[in-house]
């Protein structure tokens, strides 16, 4: 099983978001365990709503949802602020299963992110791409 990750670079200070693709391609039955995770950690005093749009940019890989095999997926994360006295970071994870439709070297999975501060005006946008092999 391989794991590839990238971090968002244009998020507000204190908010860290990672896009992780975990692959069991191609030699497992129905690609069990292959997934795209988006993880958010917050050490700031404001909370965020993060909207995620995942896109498989190559036809050899798709998301596996209740609607079937699709090239896009959307998710939402509510990332709370750190506790009042500066306690530990809060980790939130949202994920969607992936499936391989063929053999490809360097298949790209992209996550478009919009972080909205809860209770204030202000958003941050970023896009994270990771490449995986489905051979």
Q: How far apart are CA 89 and CA 48, in angstroms?
A: 13
Q: How far apart are CA 6 and CA 90, in angstroms?
A: 19
∠ at Cα 115 (63, 75), nearest 5°? 25
Non-local (6+) Cβ contacts of 99 within 8 A are: 30, 31, 34, 61, 62, 63, 64, 69
**Torsion angle, alpha carbons of 62, 103, 112, 68, to 10:** 0
Residue 63 burial class via C-beta count within 10 angstroms: exposed 0-12, middle 13-18, buried 19 and up: buried
Is residue 126 very low, low, confident or very high in pLDDT (cuts 50, 70, 90)? very high
pLDDT digits (tens, 9 = 90+) for 52-101: 999 999 888 899 988 889 999 999 999 988 766 655 566 889 999 988 88
Give me the pLDDT at residue 32, please: 61
Domains of the chain, first to last: 2-132 (2.60.40.1230)
Give me the pLDDT at residue 29, please: 47
Does the N-terminal peptide bond of residue 9 adopt cis geometry, omega within 30 degrees of 0?
A: no
Task: Give the rounded percent of residues in the chain with a pLDDT score beyond 90.
Answer: 50
Between 43 and 17, the higher pLDDT residue? 17
Non-local (6+) Cβ contacts of 107 within 8 A are: 56, 57, 58, 60, 61, 131, 132, 133, 134
pLDDT digits (tens, 9 = 90+) for 18-29: 999 988 765 544
Is residue 45 very low, low, confident or very high in pLDDT (cuts 50, 70, 90)? confident
pTM, entire model: 0.86
Contact in structure between 114 and 89 (CB atoms under 8 Å): no
């Amino acid at each position: 099983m391989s794991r590839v990750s990238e971090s968002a670079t244009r998020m507000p200070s204190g908010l860290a978001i990672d896009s992780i693709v975990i692959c069991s391609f191609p030699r497992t039955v129905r690609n069990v365990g292959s997934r795209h995770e988006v993880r958010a950690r917050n050490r700031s005093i404001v909370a965020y709503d993060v909207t995620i749009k995942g896109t498989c940019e190559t036809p050899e890989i798709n998301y596996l949802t209740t609607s079937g095999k699709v090239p896009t997926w959307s998710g939402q994360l509510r990332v709370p602020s750190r506790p009042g006295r500066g306690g530990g970071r809060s980790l939130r994870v949202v994920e969607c299963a992936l499936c391989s439709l063929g053999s490809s070297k360097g298949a790209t999975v992209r996550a478009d992110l919009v972080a909205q501060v809860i209770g204030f005006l202000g958003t941050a946008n970023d896009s994270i791409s990771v490449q995986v092999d489905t051979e």
